[in-house]
Structure 1
Amino acid sequence: MRRPIIRPLPTALALASVAALTPLVTQAPAAADSVIIGGSAVRSSEIPWVVALSSRDRFGGTRAGQFCGGVVVAPTQVVTAAHCLSREVLGTTVSEVRDLRVIAGREDLRGSGGHEIPVRTVRLAPGYDPATSSADLAVLTLAAAVPAHYAIATARRGDAAYRPGTPATVYGWGDTTGVGTYSSTLHAARVQVQPDAVCARAYPGSVMGGRYMPATMMCAGDARGGRDACQGDSGGPLVAQGRLIGIVSWGSGCGRADAPGVYTRVGEVLPTVADRH
């Protein structure tokens, strides 16, 4: 069954395809639904550009209110998935979330290290379509700057890192088992960029599934399955050759060989968001 289009990834990265939205707690807003399946723990200090989106008011104090991932592209700019900021995920409009923050440089979400920085403004990609998940990207402007070395370079249109077969890594705090086992520490999984033809066959736009749109999307996974993003990983980064190439967006199940995870194609969509620097 196809993972819902609206599915931010809140906790541990699971190396599996993004799954359906899963509430963090009963009667609470739905949480992001991607996890790192088939991955392993990594140290935040070694990859400071990976950050967590947080709202304790909406998602509680467990794991610091983390509900999605994000990535630092400039000292005051964080890129995430647009659907992470939807009413379906937050349970209200993003303007009503008074404690929306980015957590950077924290080894364990249950701890108190690193930086917690309020989000000043939110800008969605102008082509974002919540019905299809096309251009599923948003840029957050922070109220204070993180250290300059936290930022990662972004891929441009036609970057060699988008070539099929290129090794890539997806990061997050989402489900690590596919059954709601969320991590408080950052995880990463190794995948490969998949050809557009493979992605199109996996997601032809049937009644039960979404349609792959190569102009704004890319997909990545493992031909044998077992490694992917899952619930809680939405908005997290896909990195190849030292550059940000994708943002976790949606998919069908987690870690399925026939259903690679779908990511926003950063090289195409990020340049459409004005004033990102």
Structure 2
Amino acid sequence: MRRPFVRVLALAAAAAAIPLVSSATPAAADVVIGGYPAEISKSPWTVALSSRDLFGGTRAGQFCGGVVVGRSTVLTAAHCLSEAVLGAPPERIRDLKVIAGRGDLLSTAGQEIPVRSVWVNPDYDSYTNAGDFAVLTLASSLPESSVIPMAAAGDPAYQPGTEAVVYGWGDITGAGDYARSLHAARVTVMADAVCEEAYPGNTDGTYKSASMVCAGERAGGRDACQGDSGGPLVAQGKVIGLVSWGTGCGLAGSPGVYTRVSYIVRTVS
């Protein structure tokens, strides 16, 4: 079972030593899962959220992903910024940064930009996982080439059967093997009815099409996983979703659930 895809802390003080994976136990052998190494130069809008104070320097403090939708604006998952993950409200995390332009987390490429402010969707429901998004404002701007458009309601990129790609630095095997370099996995946008059947309402969450979109493969094998939370799901050159939640990683019958970007556009406009 997997809930939101972050490495959850047992105690904030212990996080600087060895971050824990979620209490969920992924169970896929070839299951980002079922992905491939991705070039950051070809996906410069994919960024990592970092706090070395909380998560140590082994992976540059990475604990979630994000996507650049404005020169100083990054979207991520609301649950990434919860006290359950950070041990405190995000405004109290002094070294909260966004790492941009760096595929290999341990390289010196790109930039580490401090987060100037955080806005978490007040309608986020941690029980159903509905409305799982937050907006980060950066202390300095990125180039326009780092910005990806957001898909509004009615965009054909949301159509079931559309090919999409999910990006992240999370678990690449389903067994707690976190990637040092950016990975991506090709998935397929699925009909809302598929996710409504998979997630009618249980301890993992409830699929709500108004704020969620689901993607994966019916046979499983390709999916986001722990540590990929907040990262982008991209189709037809636009971001359509943010990695949010699901059951297991890459399991047949349990597609990944993403925050629907058209919901975000409608909420913040």
> What TM-score results when the alignment is normalised by the length of structure 2?
0.91
Is the CA contact 2:12–2:54 (under 8 Å) kept in the aligned structure 1? no
Counterpart residue number, 1:7: 5
Structure 1 residue corresponding to 2:268, chosen from 247, 258, 273: 273
Provide, for residues 199-223 of structure 1, a one-character-per-residue CA deviation record: whole Å limited to 9, x for no partner.
01110113x4321111101110011
Matched, 1:55 2:51: yes
Following TM superposition, by how much is the alpha carbon of 1:107 offset from its aligned partner in structure 2, in angstroms? 2.7
Alpha-carbon distance in structure 1 between the residues aligned to 2:266 and 2:21: 25
SS at match of 2:14: coil
Is the CA contact 1:125–1:270 (under 8 Å) kept in the aligned structure 2? no
With 187-196 and 23-32 compared, the bigger mean Cα shift is at 23-32
SS at match of 1:113: coil
Residue ranges of structure 2 left out of the alignment (5+ in a row): none
Alpha-carbon distance in structure 2 between the residues aligned to 1:209 and 1:107: 31
Following TM superposition, by how much is the alpha carbon of 1:92 offset from its aligned partner in structure 2, in angstroms? 1.7
Counterpart residue number, 2:226: 231
Counterpart residue number, 1:18: none
Alpha-carbon distance in structure 1 between the residues aligned to 2:10 and 2:164: 29
Following TM superposition, by how much is the alpha carbon of 1:273 offset from its aligned partner in structure 2, in angstroms? 2.3
Matched positions, count: 260
Alpha-carbon distance in structure 1 between the residues aligned to 2:20 and 2:196: 27
Matched, 1:28 2:23: no
Structure 2 residue corresponding to 1:189, chosen from 185, 205, 212: 185
Is the CA contact 2:91–2:117 (under 8 Å) kept in the aligned structure 1? no
Correspondences of 1:122-271 after superposition (within 5 Å): 122-206=118-202, 208-271=203-266
Structure 2 residue corresponding to 1:115, chosen from 105, 111, 114: 111
With 90-99 and 78-87 compared, the bigger mean Cα shift is at 90-99
Following TM superposition, by how much is the alpha carbon of 1:125 offset from its aligned partner in structure 2, in angstroms? 2.3
Alpha-carbon distance in structure 1 between the residues aligned to 2:62 and 2:21: 9
Alpha-carbon distance in structure 2 between the residues aligned to 1:109 and 1:24: 24
Change beyond 3 A, Cα 1:22–1:124: closer
Moved over 4 A (4+): 21-26, 29-35
Provide, for residues 99-136 of structure 1, a one-character-per-residue CA deviation record: whole Å limited to 9, x for no partner.
00000001310111101100001112242122221110
Alpha-carbon distance in structure 2 between the residues aligned to 1:264 and 1:115: 26
Counterpart residue number, 1:42: 38
Counterpart residue number, 2:62: 66
Kindly provide the amino acid, as one letter, of the partner of residue 50 in structure 2.
S
Provide, for residues 129-155 of structure 1, a one-character-per-residue CA deviation record: whole Å limited to 9, x for no partner.
222211101110000001111000100
SS at match of 2:74: strand
Alpha-carbon distance in structure 1 between the residues aligned to 2:163 and 2:20: 29
Structure 2 residue corresponding to 1:94, chosen from 90, 96, 109: 90
Residue ranges of structure 1 left out of the alignment (5+ in a row): 11-20
> What TM-score results when the alignment is normalised by the length of structure 1?
0.89
Is the CA contact 1:124–1:273 (under 8 Å) kept in the aligned structure 2? no
SS at match of 1:89: helix
Report which structure shows greater RCO (CA 8 Å, sep ≥6).
1
Alpha-carbon distance in structure 2 between the residues aligned to 1:32 and 1:269: 28
* RMSD over equivalenced CA pairs, Å: 2.1
SS at match of 2:98: strand
Following TM superposition, by how much is the alpha carbon of 1:75 offset from its aligned partner in structure 2, in angstroms? 0.5
Following TM superposition, by how much is the alpha carbon of 1:22 offset from its aligned partner in structure 2, in angstroms? 7.2
